[in-house]
Chain A
Amino acid sequence: GAVVSQHPSWVICKSGTSVKIECRSLDFQATTMFWYRQFPKQSLMLMATSNEGSKATYEQGVEKDKFLINHASLTLSTLTVTSAHPEDSSFYICSARTGGVNIQYFGAGTRLSVL
């Protein structure tokens, strides 16, 4: 149980285009989903917290207009990187938790490369 699916696993795009990443909880209802960014050989940096049906809460320094988050259902959250630039190239990982449980279950991550 507690499987989180993330798609796509790898995407290459041109500078200036937008990229959407999906995060799905397959066998549980995700009360909260989180989006992280990870640079090579570094730790996970929380970007935003997403609760179903409400606006995402962004961490300090994360541009909400740049990284659009939608959590339309209890099993799906999306992250859209708008007008991507090479500096947005990174490994993006989502996680999900269900009510009353602190454990976050992670997706496999999305490798974004912006040319």
Chain B
Amino acid sequence: GESVGLHLPTLSVQEGDNSIINCAYSNSASDYFIWYKQESGKGPQFIIDIRSNMDKRQGQRVTVLLNKTVKHLSLQIAATQPGDSAVYFCAENNGSNDYKLSFGAGTTVTVRA
């Protein structure tokens, strides 16, 4: 079936380095994507979103890239900090009007001091 998934389940990064988290999706009708950060025992926290009519969007220390040709989404975190350690989920809306999101499996990011 169609799904949103991640290339790697875990990522270990040195503090201060840049992190890149990848996500693959298979639904070509998806027109909206979100990245969430979830810390242990907490609910997901919105990081950044992007619509399918864009290929790049920047926030504070984060950049989301969307490649619709290969159905690939990535989240780049600049100068990764210990507080960035968490599970990161990509989510997509399939273009329907019900506003439902489908979540990927999640990538666990661990920042090494």
Interface residues of A, Cβ cutoff 8 Å to B: 2, 4, 6, 32, 34, 42-44, 46, 49, 57, 93, 95, 97, 102-109, 111
Contact = CB atoms under 8 A, between A and B. Distances in A.
A43 B103 contact: yes
Contacts, number: 54
A58 to B, nearest CB: 12
A108 B100 contact: no
A49 B99 CA distance: 9
B100 A109 contact: no
Contact of A103 (B42, B46, B98): B46
A108 B32 contact: no
Interface residues of B, number: 21
Given A43-B103, A43-B106, A109-B43, 16 more contacts: A4-B43, A34-B100, A34-B101, A42-B105, A44-B44, A44-B103, A46-B100, A46-B102, A49-B98, A97-B99, A102-B49, A102-B93, A102-B99, A106-B46, A107-B43, A108-B42
7 contacts: A93-B43, A95-B43, A102-B49, A103-B49, A104-B34, A106-B45, A108-B43
